[in-house]
A and B are shown apart, each in its own frame.
Chain A
Amino acid sequence: MSSTGVAITGIGAISPLGLSSAEMWSGLCEGRCGIDRIKSFDPTGFSCQLAGEVPEFKVRKYVPKRRRKSVKLMSRDIELSVVAARESILDSGLVTKGIDEENINVEPSRMSINLGAGLISCDLEEIAPAVAKSITNGKFDIHKWGKDGIENLTPLWLLKYLPNMLACHIGIIHDIQGPSNTITCAEAGGLLAIGESAQIIFRGDSDVALAGGAEAKVNAIIMARQCLLKRVTSKNNDNPAGACRPFDDEASGSVFGEGAGMIVLEDIERAKGRGANIYGQIAGVGQSQSINPAYEHLESDGKGIQIAIENAMADAEIEPGELDLIIPHGTGIPEDDLAESRGIEAALGEFAGKIPVFASKSMLSTTGAASGALDVIAGICAMRDGKIPAAKNFVKGAEGCNLNIVTKPKSEDIRYVLCCNYTYGGQTAAVVLKKS
């Protein structure tokens, strides 16, 4: 049986602005910045010493008692995803095995999970002692490593770092036995996963889904990569709150961070039937690809973004004039922001300069595979409250960027929100949200 619509019935977020979606949304509305000097390692040697780090939390509190042993196998990415998943399921009113074993109201085989996850880098302080046992004359000795070094790693070491383990842990905790997928399209992963998840419900292959993304980018290896690729701002180490400036004339690169965003999707008739709180619907999904020989950046005309938006709008069967809010990817990397803005303009024509735009990364940082999911949650909150937060760190628009970035908070009815995303490597995604 295929579905007639896909409702959003739950949201959950853990972000640099707090441990819940409510804290994230109030932070965005208040213009709080989640970016600061990196605390989890000494960043002195890095060109960018800033990150969006999640406030302290203990994952054990979010895992049912009988599953607490499993936290030893959770990398930071997995921990973040487990926290956000729990909030979103609680918020939806669905009862899974992980919420209350006695009162389950979801058929496990009809529930699916679809997450965007990153390339998880290993914990260097965990592997270093094993490397230290594998040195000859001050150099790494692979013979010693193979013979003795590896014995110092916990047997299940690899399982912390497989990207599908986020969905696997959550699936075990909440007993999700339907389709499980992990989209590994870097910074577009979360939004792509939400799109695919909605399509799985729409085609009738599950009734309920947990969808979103999670990534912990505050790891020395990942930060080194972003520095080497010159995707970071290196001018703002003394000014964390003003460092990430999407679409602003003074933008000089992004700041990276960590987080997880999860939403519960549900066949709309099922959601109505149980009297669920319905935030809205996934009205349209589109995706495409940027083709650029310099594939660390978006192509300069933003064509891949344009096609994704056009497809999502066609799927939602709406015209550009009906959009009330755009949440773009907007990383603060000047050439990417310009290309994205061109792609949005090409897709929406004259309306591109009129529809209010809100970019979240000045406060949330670029949280990899989580970023698209966090933006969808911001869009859902905006529809719920009829409120658009003001941009942070946007003073004067960058040359060539003609979007209508909202600089003062706005209160108005919001019926349709467009979220778009892209990543190095080129994948682009767009999702249209509709208020119920």
Chain B
Amino acid sequence: MIKKESKERVVITGMGIVCPLGHSVSELWESILSGKSGMGKTTIFDASTFPSQFGAEVKGYDFTKHTKRPELHKDSNRASGFVIGATEEACRGAGIDVESEKICDGIKRDRMGIYLGAGEGSVNNEVFFESLVQAWDDSERRMDWVKWAEVSLGKLDAMGELEQEPNMPACHIAMMTGARGPVRSCLTACAASTQAVGESMEIIRRGDADVMISGGAHSMIHPLGVTGFNRLTALSSRNDSPQTASRPFAASRDGFVLGEGAAIVILESLSSAKRRGAKILAELTGYGSSSDAFRVTDMHEEGRGAKQAIELALADASISYKDIDYINTHGTSTRENDSIETKAIKAAFKERAKKIPASSVKSMLGHLIGAAGAAELITCVLAIRDGIIPATMNLEDRDPQLDLDYVPNEPRKCKVDIAINESFGFGGQNNVVIIKRYEGK
């Protein structure tokens, strides 16, 4: 394998989002600064008897408004639809031609890749459940597979089935942009898009691409998704008050609020960005990745893996824990995550831990699962740009065990030069990236 003499520096030159707080980065940011909540009663399917009857849905979105060739994407599942809008916005900001006859942006397509943390799409619920109703003999406890095949093969649509594959959002981006460089998609649960961003950085650093379209796309707001999380008792069941249900670090927190969306960042080598005269929004300077190797169901009790990922990211960025101005926490609003993440922050940031603002935008945005990390990365870039740290909303009753500066309920004016973004996934994957103000040299 070829080794380059020096690593490329990696900068962010574009951002785009479709999420419960809006269909653009500016809408997201306005909502976050005004403390708006993206939650509401579930409308995508009838969840009225589920333990959790609400979520953070993307509302009023139509992907066909974001593409000149909607027919290419007509079979898209929700996540692929979201990714079309997010990619269009991110590419527009970065000056990357999308769906153009002629490419004039100065980026060779075999030097442009894609790396997403993306999730699977929903099954065709109607056919899925009907096939089981018809084919399962509950008294005999046996399946009539011939019947099952008759119903399923008769009613399912081939492309609709294909579109459930988690690599499909990346496929749709490739069709829009013509990207022919390294293309990957990963799914490490709630840490996926931060992992995708981190690995994209490494691809640019080692010189395998000049530009990476990175981020995440996911929607698990469907009957089997909500069933799965409800059985795990991971979701808030505060059905009477969806808008205040996500309350990271609060004593009364009772689970996360399931969200959906897509968030895309354009990562680019500094030399390519300069050559093209692209506007540089921030620099990515560190990436750390680890796993807990502890339990399938729980994070390591002391946050061993989380601490390790933070320390690896700091070392990768060649900075000290003392240099961090803002921690964008994973902060899910589950009992376990928020207390263990607090422990990990204390272990990694030592005497500085209580002095660094550490907030969770999931209090407003909900938990975008595979797309969460990239959406939160965007808020870090904006915090650096505007010198404002997003609040952790709904933090009225602080958990006495949790004593960091969570920036409760009000965004805070504060100069941020270096931010750290933390994402931890079910099953113990921990991914952390460090974002730095670009100084223009």
Q: How far is the CA of A203 from the CA of B146 in the complex (A)?
A: 52
Binds A, one of B183-191, B271-279, B333-341: B183-191
A228/B161 in contact, CB under 8 A = yes
Q: How far is the CA of A150 from the CA of B168 in the complex (A)?
A: 29
B427/A45 in contact, CB under 8 A = no
Interface assignment of B411: CB less than 8 Å from any CB of chain A? no
| A-B Cβ contacts below 8 A, count | 295
Q: Mark B400-415, 1 if CB is under 8 A from A, else 0.
A: 0000000000000000
User: Which residue of the partner chain, among A128, A164, A184, A283, contacts B167 with CB atoms under 8 Å?
Assistant: A184
Question: Knowing A139-B133, A158-B232 touch, does A225 contact B162 (C-beta < 8 A)?
Answer: yes
Most buried by A among B159, B290, B291: B291
Binds A, one of B87-95, B222-230, B352-360, B382-390: B222-230
Interface assignment of B103: CB less than 8 Å from any CB of chain A? no
Within 8 A of B (CB), among A201-250: 202-203, 205, 220-221, 224-225, 227-230
Question: Knowing A70-B296, A205-B289 touch, does A155 contact B231 (C-beta < 8 A)?
Answer: yes
A140/B232 in contact, CB under 8 A = no
Interface assignment of B118: CB less than 8 Å from any CB of chain A? yes
Most buried by B among A154, A282, A289: A289
User: Which residue of the partner chain, among B120, B290, B291, B312, contacts A119 with CB atoms under 8 Å?
Assistant: B120
A186/B165 in contact, CB under 8 A = yes
Q: How far is the CA of A167 from the CA of B291 in the complex (A)?
A: 10
Residues of A within 8 Å of B429, CB to CB, are 164, 167-168, 180-181
Binds A, one of B11-19, B137-145, B317-325: B137-145
Q: Mark A278-315, 1 if CB is under 8 A from B, else 0.
A: 00001111011101010110000001100100010011
Most buried by B among A157, A295, A423: A295
Shortest CB-to-CB span from B117 to chain A, Å, is 9
Residue in A closest to B2 when the chains form the complex, CB atoms: A315
Q: How far is the CA of A45 from the CA of B425 in the complex (A)?
A: 39
Residue in A closest to B146 when the chains form the complex, CB atoms: A45
Size class of A's contact patch? Answer: 35 or more
B165/A147 in contact, CB under 8 A = no
Residues of B within 8 Å of A289, CB to CB, are 114, 174, 179-181, 183
Shortest CB-to-CB span from B314 to chain A, Å, is 14
Residues of B within 8 Å of A154, CB to CB, are 231
Shortest CB-to-CB span from A324 to chain B, Å, is 19
Question: Knowing A124-B143, A171-B291, A282-B1 touch, does A155 contact B185 (C-beta < 8 A)?
Answer: no
Size class of B's contact patch? Answer: 35 or more
A177/B291 in contact, CB under 8 A = yes
Shortest CB-to-CB span from B227 to chain A, Å, is 5
A288/B291 in contact, CB under 8 A = no
Q: How far is the CA of A129 from the CA of B129 in the complex (A)?
A: 11
Question: Knowing A146-B47, A164-B189, A181-B195 touch, does A220 contact B148 (C-beta < 8 A)?
Answer: yes
Binds B, one of A58-66, A191-199, A381-389, A398-406: A191-199
Residues of B within 8 Å of A184, CB to CB, are 118, 120, 165-167, 185-187
Binds B, one of A85-93, A412-420, A424-432: A424-432
Interface assignment of A175: CB less than 8 Å from any CB of chain B? yes
Binds A, one of B60-68, B150-158, B371-379: B150-158
Residues of B within 8 Å of A230, CB to CB, are 158
Interface assignment of A24: CB less than 8 Å from any CB of chain B? no
Residues of B within 8 Å of A140, CB to CB, are 129-130, 132-133
Interface assignment of A44: CB less than 8 Å from any CB of chain B? yes
Shortest CB-to-CB span from A435 to chain B, Å, is 16
Q: Mark A121-148, 1 if CB is under 8 A from B, else 0.
A: 0101101110110110011101111110
B296/A119 in contact, CB under 8 A = no
Listed from nearest, the 6 A-B pairs whose CB atoms lie closest are A45-B149, A158-B228, A146-B49, A168-B427, A179-B289, A128-B136
- Residues of chain B having any CB pair with chain A under 8 Å: 1-3, 45-51, 72, 110, 114, 118, 120, 123, 129-130, 132-133, 135-136, 138, 141, 143, 145-150, 152-153, 156-159, 161-162, 164-168, 170-171, 174-175, 178-189, 195, 199, 202, 205-206, 208, 223-224, 227-233, 289-297, 304-305, 308, 312, 425-429
